[in-house]
């Protein structure tokens, strides 16, 4: 049996990558955070520092810990994270590499191909992809038995879920080591096969599109559809508010990817309404307008 994962390399210092680095370091693991852009790494480290310190705010207010001691704890966590520009240099002594780069297959292939020889034989590779299948990503490496998916949710420090995805060639040892890693960093893990969208997106994205089609047909207004699912099904927000929050470009990109792969599947058909909103640059909350209009 493989020993517990104690050192992790995270490739990509954006929102997801910095969150994964934070929760790993907070759990006592050593972390190499990798990004080609130095500015991104600087931003990542200051975001991690703010987030971790915010976690101590309540304890400071209730006098459980004084501010100086809290700062010491924050510094301990930050000291476990080292920043690197070159992935090859940063993977030579890690147990696990998590790729959190752009959702683009050729970029992911380039990254994994470049580190396959540099990483030790025991090192597990994982992708934080949300919509590309693991079997398509792992073709870039020789260690397909030590390759799987670890799909985190945004914002990583807050969202409790981790989807652990078993590719067609993932070994039991690899899969179990990743389930242990998930527990070690305080996540609730769910196991999933390498199916399009895994569990959450596979259920969520088609349900959003089903709501869009319902309104496109004129069966209900989008406001009523949102109200109905909130008050009738106990959802915290309706499908249109949720799509605006996810980003209409992201929502569309996920479905477009599945539609290209399975053009006959009725459940993966695109939406003309969504396509036109994205074409006009109305991408949801982040641009001030999507299905709804938001105050700046």
The residues annotated with a catalytic role in the active site are 130, 151, 163, 201
Alpha-carbon span 268 to 260, nearest angstrom: 9
Q: Which residues contact 198 (CB under 8 A, 6 or more apart)?
A: 130, 149, 151, 163, 165, 192
Question: Which residue bears the tokens 């067609």?
Answer: 168
Per residue, the 3-state secondary structure of 141-159, as one string, reads: CCCHHHEEEEEECCCCCCC
Question: Which residue bears the tokens 């400071």?
Answer: 60
Q: Which residues contact 179 (CB under 8 A, 6 or more apart)?
A: 164, 189, 191
CA-CA distances (angstroms) from residue 178 to 7, 13, 108, 148, 175? Answer: 13, 21, 20, 9, 5
Alpha-carbon span 30 to 7, nearest angstrom: 5
* Structure tokens given for 268: 């993966």
Q: Residues 162, 151: contact at Cβ < 8 Å?
A: yes
**In terms of residues, how long is the chain?**
296
What is residue 123's three-state secondary structure?
A: coil
CA-CA distances (angstroms) from residue 152 to 88, 113, 264, 285? Answer: 24, 23, 30, 21
* Structure tokens given for 83: 């920043």
Q: Residues 21, 32: contact at Cβ < 8 Å?
A: no
* Structure tokens given for 284: 């949801």
Query: Which is nearest to 12 in space by CA: 110, 100, 80?
Result: 100
């Amino acid at each position: 049996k493989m020993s517990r994962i104690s050192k992790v390399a995270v490739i990509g210092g954006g929102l997801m990558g910095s969150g994964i680095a934070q929760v790993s370091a907070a759990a006592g693991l050593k972390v190499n955070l990798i990004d080609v852009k130095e500015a991104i790494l600087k931003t990542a480290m200051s975001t991690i520092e703010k987030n971790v310190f915010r976690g101590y705010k309540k304890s400071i207010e209730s006098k459980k810990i004084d501010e100086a001691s809290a700062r010491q704890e924050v510094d301990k966590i930050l000291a476990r994270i080292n920043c690197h520009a070159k992935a090859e240099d940063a993977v030579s002594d890690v147990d696990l590499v998590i790729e959190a780069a752009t959702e683009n297959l050729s970029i992911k292939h380039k990254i994994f191909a470049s580190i396959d020889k540099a990483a030790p034989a025991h090192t597990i590779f994982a992708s934080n992809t949300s919509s590309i299948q693991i079997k398509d990503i792992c073709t870039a490496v020789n260690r397909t038995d030590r390759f799987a998916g670890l799909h985190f949710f945004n914002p990583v420090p807050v969202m409790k879920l981790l989807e652990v995805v078993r590719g067609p060639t993932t070994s039991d040892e690899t899969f179990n080591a990743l389930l242990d890693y998930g527990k070690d960093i305080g996540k609730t893990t769910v196991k999933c096969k390498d199916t399009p969208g895994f569990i959450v997106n596979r259920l969520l994205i088609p349900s959003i599109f089903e709501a869009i089609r319902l309104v496109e047909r004129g069966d209900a207004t989008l406001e009523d559809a949102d109200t109905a699912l909130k008050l009738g099904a106990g959802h915290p927000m309706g499908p249109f508010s949720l799509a605006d929050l996810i980003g209409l470009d992201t929502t569309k990109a996920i479905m477009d990817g599945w539609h290209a792969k399975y053009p006959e599947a009725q459940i993966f058909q695109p939406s003309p309404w969504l396509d036109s909103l994205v074409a006009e640059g109305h991408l949801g909350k982040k641009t001030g307008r999507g299905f709804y209009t938001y105050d700046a």
